[in-house]
């Protein structure tokens, strides 16, 4: 069978990784795909640098449109990132009848619905294993391995940078700023790490997971996103004393009233496997009604792990390119005519448990006042700690609540913060038992 021809947009870390692995494992990949996969054109900004990396093995151009408009290219691999020009290039490639492989989670979370519609109309595939959790085949698992299941929820550590920062804060007692600086020095976090630490990168990935877990459209605009910028070392330490670890968790859950889609720092019992995912590693825990819980662990970023996912998509396309489009795996795991309309619940409607930290004057009746307000809102306390502070006239009270609705908790906190004995604002972090 003749080789399948690939055009690569971008030759950064992942692009170079893809190029190298395709060459290194050429025989093994060909034996699996049934035909060889050849990169025949690469679009880059700096063609001299690219030539140093890949020699004269393929055509190097500086205009990406030359790749997507080249009639000899079968598959376009988009590894540029960002929305434009990646979006326009993806639509042009699809319009030209080319399959697309992308690692671009932002593009899919924001514009996936239109991109998949265009691909479906044209009968081409858009594959995106590399967009979520790097080398972990979580898209494959959700779309194919778990098709017997009604998925109940998915919870994941899907941003390596923030997991590295949280691990350093807990293991070394560092504050957020110091841990972030270390992540940047080690090359985990970008020079502008906003997307990582503010939870946006995880929310892009969670939006994609939510769509394929439940068969709904991409609804990034409805996702709740809270990063780790405000997290204090003292809360990591108190959480630990209560038997919990704090992770930036991406959660999507099916409930009777709608679907939850949220990313925020979360206390997880430290006995859970996922609570022990350390450093820049990723893990995704899926609860299905048939299989129960299954967990997927591995490297969520980096040249070779991400190239592993890109090449898996290339092999899938090579195998399925001649198949009738109706018989391919649907983009969002469910057949397009069965994509649901379930709404993402507003955050005020979600149900979870909470970690609360209050700084109070150490005087008679403070605790009684606080617990009375919580009781008035039907919020039950699960565990409590009282910790001395440097000032003997003040103390920290740390509470874990049982499950309640977020809007009840917010209303209770408003009243508690008005108490004269409560000093400053309270800290509130959500808790998930993951059972
Ligand atoms: N910036 C991401 C992370 C890697 O830290 O996990 C690619 O998605």
134 alpha carbon – ligand 1 mean position (Å): 8
Same domain, 28 and 79: yes
Q: Give the pLDDT score at 55.
A: 87
Mutate to test the pocket of ligand 1, among 135, 180, 201, 306 (most ligand atoms within 8 A of CB): 201
Cβ of residue 300 lying under 6 Å from some atom of ligand 1: yes
Same domain, 367 and 321: no
Atom from ligand 1 closest to the CA of residue 133 = 8
Tally of structural domains, the chain: 3
Do the domain assignments include residue 324?
Answer: yes
Same domain, 50 and 182: no
CATH number of residue 15's parent domain? 3.40.50.720
CATH number of residue 411's parent domain? 3.30.70.260
Q: Which of 5, 98, 140, 205 is catalytic?
A: 205
Residue 375 CA: distances (Å) to CA of 217, 352, 400: 39, 16, 14
Q: Whose CA is nearest to atom 4 of ligand 1?
A: 301
Number of H helices, E strands in the chain: 15, 17
Same domain, 205 and 280: yes
Q: Give the pLDDT score at 186.
A: 84
Do the domain assignments include residue 68?
Answer: yes
CATH number of residue 254's parent domain? 3.30.360.10
Cβ of residue 159 lying under 6 Å from some atom of ligand 1: yes
Same domain, 375 and 228: no
158 alpha carbon – ligand 1 mean position (Å): 8
Cβ of residue 196 lying under 6 Å from some atom of ligand 1: yes
Put the strands of the sheet holding 4-9 in their side by side order: 59-61, 37-43, 4-9, 75-78, 99-102, 126-127
Atom from ligand 1 closest to the CA of residue 103 = 8
Q: Whose CA is nearest to atom 8 of ligand 1?
A: 301
300 alpha carbon – ligand 1 mean position (Å): 7
Q: Report H helices in 159-302.
A: 160-172, 176-185, 194-197, 200-214, 233-241
Cβ of residue 160 lying under 6 Å from some atom of ligand 1: yes
Environment class of 398 (CB within 10 Å of its CB; exposed 0-12, middle 13-18, buried 19+): buried
Residue 432 CA: distances (Å) to CA of 93, 246, 270, 375, 403: 42, 10, 11, 21, 9
Q: Give the pLDDT score at 216.
A: 98
Cβ of residue 135 lying under 6 Å from some atom of ligand 1: no
Do the domain assignments include residue 343?
Answer: no
420 and 366 Cβ atoms separated by less than 8 Å: no
Same domain, 224 and 286: yes
Q: Give the pLDDT score at 433.
A: 96
Do the domain assignments include residue 339?
Answer: no
255 alpha carbon – ligand 1 mean position (Å): 29
Residue with tokens 């670890």: 245
Same domain, 154 and 248: yes
Same domain, 275 and 245: yes
Q: List the structure tokens of 14.
A: 């992942």
Cβ of residue 78 lying under 6 Å from some atom of ligand 1: no
Same domain, 11 and 116: yes
Do the domain assignments include residue 313?
Answer: yes
77 alpha carbon – ligand 1 mean position (Å): 19
Annotated catalytic, 172? no
What is d(CA 81, CA 86) in angstroms, rounded to the nearest whole number?
Answer: 7
Cβ of residue 163 lying under 6 Å from some atom of ligand 1: no
Residue 187 lies in domain: 138-299
Successive 10-residue mean pLDDT values, the chain, 435 residues: 96 95 97 97 93 91 98 97 97 98 97 98 98 97 98 98 96 93 82 91 98 98 97 95 98 97 98 97 98 98 96 97 93 96 95 97 94 98 94 95 98 97 96 96
253 alpha carbon – ligand 1 mean position (Å): 23
Do the domain assignments include residue 307?
Answer: yes
Do the domain assignments include residue 70?
Answer: yes
161 alpha carbon – ligand 1 mean position (Å): 6
Do the domain assignments include residue 334?
Answer: no
What is d(CA 183, CA 192) in angstroms, rounded to the nearest whole number?
Answer: 12
Cβ of residue 226 lying under 6 Å from some atom of ligand 1: no
Angle in degrees, CA 31, 128, 264, rounded to 5 = 135
Q: Give the pLDDT score at 32.
A: 97
Residue with tokens 């800290």: 427
Same domain, 170 and 88: no
Can you say how many angstroms the Cα of residue 198 is from the centroid of all Cα atoms in its chain? 12
Q: Give the pLDDT score at 187.
A: 78
Same domain, 250 and 214: yes
What is d(CA 274, CA 400) in angstroms, rounded to the nearest whole number?
Answer: 20
Cβ of residue 427 lying under 6 Å from some atom of ligand 1: no
Q: Whose CA is nearest to atom 7 of ligand 1?
A: 301
Same domain, 100 and 184: no
What is d(CA 188, CA 419) in angstroms, rounded to the nearest whole number?
Answer: 43
């Amino acid at each position: 069978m003749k080789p399948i021809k690939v055009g690569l947009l971008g030759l950064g870390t992942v692009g170079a990784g893809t190029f190298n692995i395709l060459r290194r494992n050429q025989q093994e990949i060909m034996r699996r795909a049934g035909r060889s996969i050849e990169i025949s054109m690469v679009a880059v900004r700096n063609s001299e640098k690219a030539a140093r990396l890949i020699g004269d093995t393929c055509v190097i151009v500086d205009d990406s449109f030359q790749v997507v408009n080249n009639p000899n290219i079968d598959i376009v691999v988009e590894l540029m990132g960002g929305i434009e020009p990646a979006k326009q290039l993806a639509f042009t490639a699809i319009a030209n009848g080319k399959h697309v492989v992308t690692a671009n989670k932002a593009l899919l979370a924001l514009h996936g619905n239109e991109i998949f519609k265009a691909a479906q109309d044209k009968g081409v595939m858009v594959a995106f294993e590399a967009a979520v959790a790097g080398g972990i085949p979580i898209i494959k698992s959700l779309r194919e391995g778990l098709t017997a299941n009604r998925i109940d929820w998915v919870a994941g550590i899907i941003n390596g940078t923030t997991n590295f920062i949280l691990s350093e804060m807990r293991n070394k007692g560092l504050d957020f700023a110091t841990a972030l600086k270390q992540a940047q020095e080690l090359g985990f976090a970008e020079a502008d790490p906003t997307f990582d630490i503010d939870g946006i990168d995880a929310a892009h990935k969670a939006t994609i997971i939510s769509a394929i877990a439940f068969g709904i459209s991409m609804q990034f605009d409805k996702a709740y996103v809270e990063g780790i910028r405000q997290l204090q070392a003292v809360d990591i330490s108190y959480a630990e004393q209560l038997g919990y670890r704090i992770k930036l968790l991406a959660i999507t859950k099916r409930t009777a009233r709608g679907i939850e889609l949220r990313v925020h720092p979360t206390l997880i019992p430290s006995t859970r496997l996922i609570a022990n995912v350390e450093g820049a590693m990723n893990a995704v825990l899926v609860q299905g009604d048939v299989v129960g819980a299954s967990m997927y662990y591995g490297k969520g970023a980096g040249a070779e792990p991400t190239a592993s996912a890109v090449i898996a998509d290339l092999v899938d396309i090579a195998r399925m390119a001649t198949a009738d489009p109706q018989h391919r795996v649907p983009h969002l795991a469910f057949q397009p005519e069965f994509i649901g309309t379930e709404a993402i619940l507003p955050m005020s409607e979600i149900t979870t448990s909470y970690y609360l930290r209050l700084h109070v004057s150490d005087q008679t009746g403070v605790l009684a006042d606080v617990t009375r307000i919580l009781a008035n809102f039907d919020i039950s306390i699960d565990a409590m700690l009282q910790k001395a502070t440097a000032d003997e006239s003040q103390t920290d009270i740390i509470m874990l609540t049982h499950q309640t609705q977020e809007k009840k908790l917010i209303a209770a906190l408003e009243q508690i913060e008005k108490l004269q004995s409560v000093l400053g604002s309270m800290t509130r972090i959500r808790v998930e038992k993951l059972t």
